[in-house]
A and B are shown apart, each in its own frame.
Chain A
Amino acid sequence: GENVEQHPSTLSVQEGDSAVIKCTYSDSASNYFPWYKQELGKRPQLIIDIRSNVGEKKDQRIAVTLNKTAKHFSLHITETQPEDSAVYFCAASLGFNKFYFGSGTKLNVKP
């Protein structure tokens, strides 16, 4: 089955700086890669996703890049704000059936 690895496990940045979280996957057939944000005590919420036919996608301060050859994808958050502090999970899916999640990155944005 698919194996998703996520790094780093914790990330601390100063407000206004950029944050980058990286994930690798093992199954080259995976074709859908969502990113979720989970605040303390709340449910995971989708923040951005990318499909395998696209190399990059941007939504305001958030962007995701996908390198199918290297089998890795990254989340980029620019101009970080304290409310960006949360745990972020990447995931990979083949055909929108089973989703395989990374181990999570705890992002702390210091004011």
Chain B
Amino acid sequence: EADIYQTPRYLVIGTGKKITLECSQTMGHDKMYWYQQDPGMELHLIHYSYGVNSTEKGDLSSESTVSRIRTEHFPLTLESARPSHTSQYLCASSEYSETQYFGPGTRLLVL
């Protein structure tokens, strides 16, 4: 089934650890996005990509990095997790002239 997937769904990790949040979509979309969202609050764009080998920073300053080596895959990496990174991370994708579709999210807790 065409969808957008995120793993892990929940992650509890200690300060200083390196983590990678996975996002994959099977819809063949060129554009992919990462948002940070505290529960029920505004979505903040942290990274986006218009296609393979294209990545841009969003409007919210973030210490994370992303890569886009394959169309369907857009992982987000935190080199050294901190408690301030505790949040929900939503991945989304879209095709040209179409709206975004969101993944189920990863809830991250950094102790």
- What is A's interface to B at a CB cutoff of 8 Å? 1, 32, 34, 36, 38, 40, 42-46, 49, 87, 89, 96-104, 106
Q: How many residues of B contact A (CB 8 A)?
A: 23
Type the 1/0 row for B8-52, where 1 means its CB is closer than 8 Å to any CB of A.
Answer: 000000000000000000000001010000001111010010100
The answer to whether A87 touches B50, judged by C-beta atoms less than 8 angstroms apart, is no
Q: Main secondary structure on chain B at its contact with chain A?
A: loop
User: Are B59's CB and A1's CB within 8 A?
Assistant: yes
List the B side residues contacting A43 at CB < 8 Å. Answer: 90, 102-105
Find the residue from B33, B43, B100 having the highest chain A CB count within 10 A: B43
- Given contacts A34-B99, A49-B99, A96-B97, are A44 and B50 in contact (CB under 8 A)? no
A-B interface pairs (CB < 8 A), number:
48
**1/0 per position for B51-86, CB-CB distance to A under 8 A?**
000000011000000000000000000000000000
Contact residues of A: prevailing secondary structure: strand
Q: Which of A1, A40, A45, A103 contacts B41 (CB 8 A)?
A: A103
Binding site for A on B (CB under 8 A): 31, 33, 40-43, 45, 48, 50, 58-59, 90, 94, 96-105
